[in-house]
Amino acid sequence: MIVKGGIFDLDGVIVDTAKYHYLAWRRLAHELGFDFSTEQNERLKGVSRIKSLEILLEVGGVKLSDKDMQEAAQRKNAWYVDFINTLTPDEILPGAREFLLEMKSEGVKIALGSASKNAGLILHRLQLEELFDAVIDGNKVSKAKPDPEIFLTAADGLNMDPRECVVFEDARAGVEAAKNGGMFCVGVGDPDILIQADIIIPGFKGLSWQKMQRSISG
């Protein structure tokens, strides 16, 4: 397989903003009268904001009207935005910038495929905007992972066949989305969680694109 495009999830792959999501969701849970653990938070990774809220309410046994759900989601997002407005390029995960730069130098097109509706702000804070040829986030798609819509839309944004692209994902739902779209997937993180990925790496530190290309082709 000759890779012409790379599609990257954001949280947990390029930067760890998952901790800020968790702090905001836990604050909302406390406001609603229950606690929310890091283990329970695993269910929220890679899914949309409203779906995440539905899971949170299920955990707490809380029911809200549609109006109250929208208001709760907005409060959570406002707290999260406060957190990410303090992001700096120093918070890019080790090796990620260097890996992206090497891909660009080799002529590989790069897209973002993230459920986050704040992806543009995060890329701006990290000073990574210029490295992406297409940015597909939660504002541009309606179906949550594991539906492949976000990755298929990203491939389309690169004007490429999905089979020419490799997806980098850290969440089970994201890996499933990539495979559902017929795409090669590199799992970034825990092998026990990312068992459906074609290749699994712990992160990008010390990893070259040339080495990755050989692993994909082999």
In angstroms, the CA 16 to CA 33 distance is: 27
> Across the chain, what does the average pLDDT equal?
94
Strand partners, 111: 7, 134
Average pLDDT on 51-80 reads 95
Helices (H) and strands (E) in the chain, counts: 9, 6
Residue 186 or residue 118, greater confidence: 186
Contact 167, 113 (CB under 8 A): yes
In angstroms, the CA 46 to CA 92 distance is: 18
How do 165-169 and 134-136 pair as beta strands? unpaired
Domains in the chain, start-ordered, CATH in brackets?
Answer: 5-15+91-217 (3.40.50.1000), 18-84 (1.10.150.240)
Task: Respond yes or no: is residue 9 known to be catalytic.
Answer: yes
The torsion angles phi and psi of 134, rounded to 5 degrees, stand at -150, 140
Strand partners, 110: 6
- For the stretch 139-197, pLDDT in tens is 999 898 899 999 999 999 999 999 999 999 999 999 999 999 999 999 999 999 999 99
Contact 12, 108 (CB under 8 A): no
Alpha helices by DSSP H, listed for 44-186, are 49-60, 66-84, 96-105, 119-126, 149-157, 172-180
Q: Which pTM was predicted?
A: 0.85
In single-letter form, the type of residue at position 111 comes to A
Task: Give the pair of three-digit tokens for residue 214.
Answer: 């050989």
Q: Looking at 9, 137, 170, 198, which residue is catalytic?
A: 9
In the predicted structure, residue 217 carries a pLDDT above the cut 90: no
